[in-house]
Structure 1
Amino acid sequence: MKAKQWFGLCLAVLFLVIFAFPVFAAEYTIKVGTIQPESHPDCVLMREVFQKYVEENSGGRIKVELYPNAQLGGDREMAEAVQVGILQMALPVTSITANFEKSFNVVELPYLFTTRESAFKALDGELGKELDKRLLKTGMMNLGYFENGFRHVTNNKRPIYSPNDLKGMKIRTMEVPPHIAFFKALGANPTPMSFGELYTALQQGTVDGQENPIVLIHDSRFYEVQKYCSLTGHVFSVVHILTNKSFIDSLPADLQKVVEEGARRFVVRHREVMPQEEEKLIVELRNKGMQINDLTPEQKKPFVEAAHSIYNQFKGEIGEDVISLAEKVAK
């Protein structure tokens, strides 16, 4: 065999070994789905903190793949995929998880949490542990709570300083029973619709306003179709790392610890970043022409009273014991 032919044969074999039989192929793959864009803190920190830590500290035995922009579906679809084991991890809001375990709707009760500190103290403590325990029955488990931020009201009619300012106003809400009940109690007309339809609905005046955290108001460019943003802070929007329990159980003990520590580091960093991000984006929204008004504690009082008046409606669905525990630890 000529030297040139021999070299060609060796090169072909080398390529076959590299591409067909990767020497350093990961033993496990964690696919992480989220509806957020790549620029959102959820995605940035998943890459910079979770993915980096898990891949490095597993010695390459775990590969982490991130799928942003709802590539794998909406929060509900991804949570269902996690439950059946098609997807290893998703980052849904807790209102989505309530479709699988009703007690998670306790987090959606308006003005249950009035500060980040009280929310995370409760979620890292008794309340979170109780919810996590109930979640296991669904085949899923939680690896940590973080946030989208407090939900605020935007509209095109007027600044909101009192419940009277909302009377008769069509406000798009999520299809979350405590949210809908709250806006009804305020005299508004809550109108659930999919998030994908919301921008056009605001643009065409199908609804007068909507309610979301600052990050989503900014990233969804609602400042182009909404004039007023009132910092009502009526619900603290909680997100969590939802994973398939069987998948975690299938990992060797050392890799389970790596994944859990990676999730913990992500949560810690996320909680540091979000308040700073929100402050920055409020300034940007003002610069883009939105009129932003805050509410004094006295102005918030009738909103809080309306919120607490609906709690009894959900004792059967959420569980009276869970609501009592939440009220106790949220103080």
Structure 2
Amino acid sequence: MRLRLILSLIATVTLPASAINTAGIIASSLSAPCLEYKVVGICYWLLCTPYGCSVKTSVKVKHYIPDLVVSSYSNTGDNPWSEMAFLGVSIPIIAESGGNTNARPSNEKTQTRFKNADAIGHPSSEAFYKFLSGFGYSCSGSATAFQPYFISTLDALAWRTGLPESLYPEALIPGQREVKQTGDLWGNVFPRAGALSQTHDYKVGAVIAQRVADIVTRAGQPHVYLPLTASHSPGYWPPESVQEGKTNNHKWQMLAPRLDNSCAIFPDRSTLDTYSDKLAADGGYAWALWRPYSCCQRRGQTFLGSTGG
């Protein structure tokens, strides 16, 4: 009864076109299509007692968890997640303003746009895990709610200059590390900075979000950030680093300027789509980053192995 009531409230959440609040983000996490809960195999454990040893089994499950809220927005301090916008306020001289770095007439084929970006721990821990418990045994995520993992104004040197990554092979050699589909190049992942040559604002916002996820889910990157990584342990398999184009590695749920109940990777539609329904008037976008976790219940002292994905 309580779960049905929560789900019914999702449809009644109304937000400004260009912003979302914490309550809306929490409600959006109760998405079965994004969760994608599956029983994928069996785990084997060795249980030993004073009376001898035996092999026990437990079910292995796999599902996605919303780890982060990743925002990309044109004007410094205008994070669409309203309660967390204060984290990205401008820093005099170092990180001010934003928008188009090289404005051109609208009929030009190229335009350089700049966006700030933030990656903050998804706030829906308690509500989400209550929702998840209805499916059966579940895995724990690796992110901490409301924890700032990346704030572009604090990474101003790399985010605004593109150095040193603009000198990396991935940035210099065409065809490497790109967000694209046949006939529709959205942009390159490297350099992982705030500027992108692209005329379509939604595609700019998406590529910038992809860049942030690429940074945050890896350790030792030349940026100012807090890595979101986790180690494997017996019966627990956290996700790998985010990689663009991989359908089983991560997925995005749009939160602003509109709230979607489904998830996808970028590019998320046909090459013929104009994405006009996803354009933000103020250039502010936000997505929940969902990542896959696999786990099984411990049934003994020693993990022997598992079957399934």
TM-score interval for Structure 1 and Structure 2 normalised by the shorter chain: under 0.3
Structure holding more strand per residue: 2
Structure holding more helix per residue: 1
Mark the structure with the bigger radius of gyration: 1
Taking structure 1 as the reference length, the TM-score comes to 0.25
Taking structure 2 as the reference length, the TM-score comes to 0.26
Larger RCO, structure (CA 8 Å, separation 6 or more) = 2
